[in-house]
Amino acid sequence: MASLTRRATVYFDPVIHRLLRLKAAETAQSVSDLVNDALRVAMTEDAEDLEAFEARAGEPLISYEEMLKRLRADGRL
């Protein structure tokens, strides 16, 4: 664990907590490390999604119905 860590109280669903403890024991990691890794992955995915949205911000909007028509016309539906 990094030397510059912060403490927080998190309340887990009992089933999730048990799964975390089991995985921690099986992988020789702490629950904190598992949670930090999972949050890091989730936040990285969020950042990638936001970058994709920003990159496509200038694209024209089309309706759901128009998208369905295009997919059918292309033979993808």
CA distance linking residue 2 with residue 4, whole number of Å: 5
**Residue 4 predicted with pLDDT over 90:** no
State pLDDT tens for residues 22-68. Answer: 999 999 999 999 999 999 999 999 999 999 999 999 999 999 999 99
What is the C-alpha to C-alpha distance for residues 35 and 17, in angstroms, rounded to an integer? 11
Place of tokens 């912060």: 6
Nearest Cα to Cα of residue 37 among 45, 59, 26: 45
How much is the pTM?
0.66
Which DSSP symbol is given to 75? T
